[in-house]
Chains A and B, each alone.
Chain A
């Protein structure tokens, strides 16, 4: 800053000197003017008095002649004498003052200061006049001073006066002319000095104007050029740039990219926090405000707090002009702008780093995926090959069904995306259940995430075909995974897995269900034990066993997630901390079977179901009041219904029971539910071998 100050003085030095000279010229002319005017004033007095001397020389002669005339006529000569005395005295004092300088009676009977004559010609005239005046004084002395004077004395005075009257007049006239000439020369000189002074001052003024305008113009040009360059930079730069003041207001200038990046109109002076608030969470807002305040504080070094920037990679929700909302990642960098060592603004640089974040996430995903794939591979190899094969066959069937459901949307007039999604959800849930029984966490997690995406779409007010595209992309991922696992299995077993005939192993069912039961219970910090009596199972065909297995998986998940209480709750209710789940299969008549899954959990509470139905806007209070308890309990089979407020991997999406009904219908069975609050829930499925559509089709 000190450099710029020096430059500033240098830039204005010439103008400052020019202005100073202008003032000096004006002041000089003013002083000279004042001095000369004073002198001309003095000269005017001298000229006046010299002129008066001319007049006095004539009045003296006139007074002498009046005295002579009055005396010869015998009249009083007093008045003449007084006049002569006054005239002679005035002439004498004035003449002396011309010689030596001093006070003398002026024309208005006031004393005036008279300067001594200094010019050679004036001095010569004064010398000649003094000589004549001496004679004049001697000749008139007796007449003025004596009460009685002789006629001869009067005649001598008159004779002298007549002889020198014209001479004295001529000398005083010469003196007047000399003084006028001197005054005129001074006035002439004053005019010259004034002219030169004013001329110089005007020249100086012109120079100042020229210099100042040129300097201003140059300054303007530089400012204009700088402004144009700034405009070009701001219009071209890809980053959003703006200045932020201490009140967190955006400055008057900002880059054109800012609007594109923030997807909104920015006005000079706009509130940065309000803009940020419209796109990010309140927590981000609070952290951002704190960080900016920290930056405006002089006591913290900028470099030390850069890492604290909460907006270095912030997730925002941006809505475009068409109202389409999108999640983007923005990077806001803040740099202090110092003026005179004080923070005047923060320079904010905004970048859209969405691509970078996605790339980093994708990279991390790939890395994570590699780890997951390895663990997945280990899991696959640990699973019985036939079990795995069954799972893959089921997965392929479900994926093909999902694809068929998606394709179905294009074949009819108005696609019912809602029911298509429900159908896909049921298929996905089957895969998820089977994957969980085999302990394939990666597959369980992928299907769970797929379900969540479908539920998000299902909850959209108006589902469109465009919304479904993402599901197809994910379906393709599942197909690829299936293909990959099959390739691995083939290379491990040496057999083409896809050509193996699916074989259901009923003997594994209990083991699988026990494993699943422990796994779900452990996930939810519960304790549960599954017992089974499947004596009649070998009488069932494999196709039915497969469907019953799917049904049991969903019912078991439901029993552990919704039925069995936490150990603390169970102890409070006087129950064993470990929940019991019992699975049984009996032939109740010839080819008539009963499949039961019973848990000793808190039962189906109609009030809890009612609350969930109300909360999720399935029915209003009036409709629920008109329903009996049985109808309310049966609502748990409606698609999307769940009593949980938040979903997790094992329950909460309201898909399982919906799927169970689907499967029970597929085997031509009938479902009965028995429940007692805080005691038990029993799902009983009755089916006949001859009536099962699945068994018949197989």
Chain B
């Protein structure tokens, strides 16, 4: 196993930042970055977008946000519908953005699954790849969301 570095973490942070800025013209700021553990699992909100990694990398990247944040995001996107599926699609699109940026940065060395989005309660994150997954707390407007980077390089 090889540790991932700061630059690699920023690939995902930048993807989220760029997405929110593009949709709303308002930046999403990093509030804090810390390490999760079994005793202190990553904070998860109402919705969860996930991409699973394979190839030279192994693990998952998660983005979780509360319903109110997604609702404001849909408003910013001028999306007239507010069904449950629209909420899931919005989270899925963020996960898709994460996948796109990862593909651009890591290229052929990383196999990325089709992004998925689910609503609480979650069964993910039970078997984490890392002992301490990275938790990046993001604030957009007055709402918090979490970006969890639970990946390792295996080659």
Q: Show the binding face of A for B, using Cβ within 8 Å.
A: 403, 406-410, 415, 464-466, 468-473, 475-477, 479-480, 483
- B134 contacts across to A, CB distance below 8 A: 472-473, 476
Complex contact A465–B29 (CB within 8 A): yes
Q: Is the CB of A472 within 8 A of B34?
A: yes
Contact A410 B13, CB 8 Å, known A465-B30, A479-B35: no
Q: Which residue of A lies closest to B138 (CB)?
A: A465
Given contacts A465-B31, A465-B137, A473-B4, 12 further A-B contacts (CB under 8 A): A403-B35, A406-B34, A407-B135, A408-B32, A415-B32, A464-B30, A465-B30, A466-B30, A469-B6, A471-B33, A473-B5, A479-B132
Q: Does A479 contact B131, Cβ atoms closer than 8 Å?
A: yes
Q: Does B136 contact A (CB under 8 A)?
A: yes
Question: B105 on the interface (CB 8 Å rule)?
Answer: no
Q: How far is the CB of B145 from chain A (nearest CB, A)?
A: 11
Beyond A476-B3, A483-B131, is A407–B9 a contact (Cβ under 8 Å)? no
Contact B3 A472 (CB under 8 A): no
* Complex Cα spacing A446 to B155, Å: 25
By a CB distance below 8 angstroms, the chain A residues around B33 are: 406, 465, 468-469, 471-472
CB nearest to A465 among chain B residues = B30
Q: Does B18 reach chain A (CB closer than 8 Å)?
A: no
B6 touches A470 (CB 8 A): yes
Is A464 touching B32 in the complex (CB atoms < 8 A)? Answer: no
Given A407-B34, A473-B9: A464 touches B29 (CB 8 Å cut-off): yes
- Closest residue of chain A to B43 (Cβ to Cβ) is A410
Report whether B9 and A466 are in contact in the complex, using a CB–CB cutoff of 8 Å. Answer: no
| Least CB distance, A197 to chain B, in whole angstroms | 76
Tell me the smallest distance from the CB of B69 to a CB of chain A, in Å: 14
Pick from A407, A470, A475, A477: contact of B32, CB below 8 A. Answer: A407
Question: In the complex the two chains form, is A472's CB within 8 Å of B35's CB?
Answer: yes
Secondary structure of the B contact surface, majority rule: strand
Q: Which of A408, A465, A479, A483 has the most CB of B within 10 A?
A: A465
Closest residue of chain A to B4 (Cβ to Cβ) is A473
B residues within 8 A CB of A479? 35, 131-132
What is the size category of the interface that chain B forms with chain A? 20 to 34
- 30 residue pairs from A and B, CB less than 8 Å apart: A403-B35, A406-B32, A406-B33, A406-B35, A409-B32, A409-B137, A410-B31, A410-B144, A415-B32, A465-B30, A465-B33, A465-B137, A466-B13, A468-B30, A468-B33, A469-B9, A469-B33, A469-B136, A471-B33, A472-B35, A472-B134, A473-B3, A473-B4, A473-B9, A475-B34, A476-B3, A476-B134, A479-B131, A480-B3, A480-B131
- Interface residues of chain B, those whose CB is within 8 Å of chain A, are 3-6, 9-10, 13, 29-35, 40, 131-132, 134-137, 144
Q: Is the CB of A415 within 8 A of B31?
A: yes
Q: What B residues does A477 contact at CB under 8 A?
A: 3
A residues in contact with B132, CB < 8 Å: 476, 479
Contacts of A472 in B (CB 8 A): 33-35, 134
Chain A, residue nearest B5 (CB): A473
Contacts of A468 in B (CB 8 A): 30, 32-33
Using CB atoms, name the residue of chain A closest to B134: A472
- In the docked arrangement, what's the CA distance between A471 and B4, Å? 13
User: Are B6's CB and A473's CB within 8 A?
Assistant: yes
Closest 7 CB pairs of A and B: A465-B30, A410-B137, A409-B32, A410-B32, A406-B34, A472-B33, A407-B34
Q: For the complex, give the distance between the alpha carbons of A27 and B105 in Å.
A: 77
Given A466-B13, A469-B6, A477-B3, are A409 and B35 neighbors across the interface (CB < 8 Å)? Answer: no
Chain B contacts of A410 at CB under 8 A?
Answer: 31-32, 34, 137, 144
Closest to B1 in A: A480
Q: What are the residues of chain B within 8 A of A464 when measuring CB–CB? A: 29-30
Rounded to whole Å, the gap between the CB of B78 and the closest CB of chain A is: 28
- Whole-angstrom CA separation of A483 from B3 in the bound complex: 14
A476 near B29 with CB under 8 A, answer: no
Residues of B within 8 A of A408 (CB): 32
Choice from A415, A470, A475 contacting B35 with Cβ under 8 Å: A475
Which A residues lie within 8 Å of B10 (CB)?
466, 469
